[in-house]
Amino acid sequence: MQTRQIGPFTVSAIGLGCMNLSHAYGTPPPPEQAERVLLAALDAGVTLFDTAALYGFGKSETLLGRVLKPHRQRFTLASKGGMAGVAGSDGVTRRVIDGRPETLRRNCEDSLRRLQTDVIDLYYLHRWDKKVPVEDSVGELSRMVQEGKVRTIGLSEVSGATIRKAHAVHPITAVQNEYSLWSRNSEISALAACREIGAAFVAFSPVARGFLCDAVHDVDALDAKDIRKAMPRFEPANFAANLQLLPGYRALAQEAGCTPAQLALAWLLHKDAAIVPIPGTTNVDHLREDLRAVDVRLDASLIQRLEAHVNDHTVAGNRYAAQARTEVDTEEV
């Protein structure tokens, strides 16, 4: 496995995003299947595992703690706070964005307990809570670094301006934004800000929530609880338009001698040596397919044609619905 640098950590060039092992894309896999994926990733040389308090309202962190605790020295552990499940008076747990210092501290301590570790290597502010100055949230994360609960700090779904504000309070080691051929928002300023301050860029949803794997062909077949159901790009009319991109995309993958998923990941790896994609999967075979993207070579002509074929302007629909768009800080194309 090739490696890349995230602050002081040398990590595999492709990490593992652990959200869908317990959250988001319909019914999660059985625990034994999720365990197989985690251990297969470790055996294949993956050394960056990314989770969050939000995922499964703690279930993802609990899974990683149980399965990976015996191997803790073999990988870099990333998690996130500031967006978690909170039980309401009606007994229903709902997602809440809360960047107040006392909440971040509680989130971190809960995560440490679930992950069965003394320290989290990279701890992200999962969302900037716009009711709280980002400087206050990052200031509390900085205190956690001083106390040894967290080694380094990251931000997620933020703009270049917010990255710079946060970095003025405490060094930002990594920024994790959505980035793929069909979501280029970070090209407006976030990527440039990361280069400016020397932060790594961790790309989540690098295969466009399964679309660029050529794995989603019928949105009606998605599970009722699948978060893609609420995303404009997967609404029937937009999705029908987006499907028209796939034949040309498949042809480019064939020309590159790789699978559609590998093409999406290889594009990110070619964009910048500071980018680390973190695809997620519930399938060991798909995991191994993704990791082989490090061996794909793309020439400049193919990259140019690929970027012209799939981009924010050729894709129909926004990446988030109206409410979710207010909750992120990333610029819009």
Look at residue 225 in the predicted model and tell me its pLDDT.
87
DSSP state of 180: B
C-alpha 163/C-alpha 158 separation (Å) is 7
According to the model, what pLDDT value does residue 161 have?
A: 97
Tokens 């074929």 correspond to what residue? 309
d(CA 162, CA 17): 24
Domain positions in the chain are 3-327
What pLDDT, on the 0 to 100 scale, is given for residue 75? 98
What is the average pLDDT value for the chain, to the nearest integer? 96
Q: Residue 71's pLDDT is what?
A: 97
Mean pLDDT over 274-303 rounds to 97
CATH for 3-327 is: 3.20.20.100
- pLDDT, residue 325, reads 93
pLDDT in tens, 48-96: 999 999 999 999 999 999 999 999 999 999 999 999 999 888 889 999 9
Phi, psi torsion values for 141, nearest 5 degrees: -60, -35
Query: Hey, which residues does 124 pair with through a beta bridge?
Result: 80, 154
Is it the case that residue 138 has pLDDT exceeding 90? yes
Cα separation of 50 and 158, whole Å? 18
Residues annotated as catalytic are 55
Beta partners for residue 49, in sequence order? 16, 77
In this structure, are residues 80 and 123 in contact, taking their beta carbons and an 8 Å threshold? yes
- Is the predicted pLDDT of residue 124 greater than 80, yes or no? yes
Over its C-alpha atoms, the chain yields an Rg (Å, rounded) of: 19
pLDDT tens, residue by residue, 9-44: 999 999 999 999 998 898 899 999 999 999 999 999
User: Residue 333's pLDDT is what?
Assistant: 72
Helices within 116-245 (DSSP H only) = 134-147, 160-167, 190-197, 236-243
